[in-house]
Amino acid sequence: MNYEPLSAENAGVLLVDHQTGLSNGVTDQSIPEYLAAVEGLVKTAKTFSLPTVITTSAADGPNGPVLPIITETLPDAPIVHRPGEINAWTNPEFVDEVKELNRKKLIIAGVSTEVCVAFVALSALEAGYEVYAVIDASGTWNKLVQEVALARMVQAGVQPMTWVGVAAELQVDWRASTGQGLAETMGAHLPFYGNLIASFEVAKS
């Protein structure tokens, strides 16, 4: 494969079913780790002005509304409320919003990894997009389910990433104008990096 890095010009973000009810069932990582990764990803999307589409499944039922950190950070991102479709790609409104992004690379995260993320990722691949699944900003019911979902996606051609990998690839160079904002996000949501910055600041004083 040819390596063409993610950039603010070629990438868009799809956030699939990051809902309050569904998120309660995430056990393949701790809830704090999951929430930190989701927040890191959405703040990265904001920092780089990545066009984003949000979708929910039965948000007026037990699945619950979108995680507040998403709508608070990306208030202008369109939200497609699906009435029943399991695979968001089978909802015409969602697909239309994805097309409106006009980006060939799709960064996807959601709950659950083996259903909401995998189905959209495989469908987007079939539609001709390059797909990147952000595994730590996604979640499911146990580690085995995550591993099976990851194997299926990778076998099909989806590229697995973490939110920090996405952010660093977009940044390219710390001297770019987004460097300060990204460093603050990493410091807040990547514990070792926060400690690194704090130690540096103490050493300077």
Residues marked as catalytic: 116
Cβ neighbors of 170 (< 8 A, separation 6 or more) are: 6, 7, 8, 11, 44, 48, 50, 178
Distance CA(143)–CA(55), nearest Å, equals 24
Rounded to whole angstroms, how far apart are CA atoms 109 and 163? 10
Token pair 């990803």: residue: 41
Residue 173, exposed/middle/buried by CB under 10 A (0-12, 13-18, 19+)? exposed
Residues 45/13, Cβ–Cβ less than 8 Å: yes
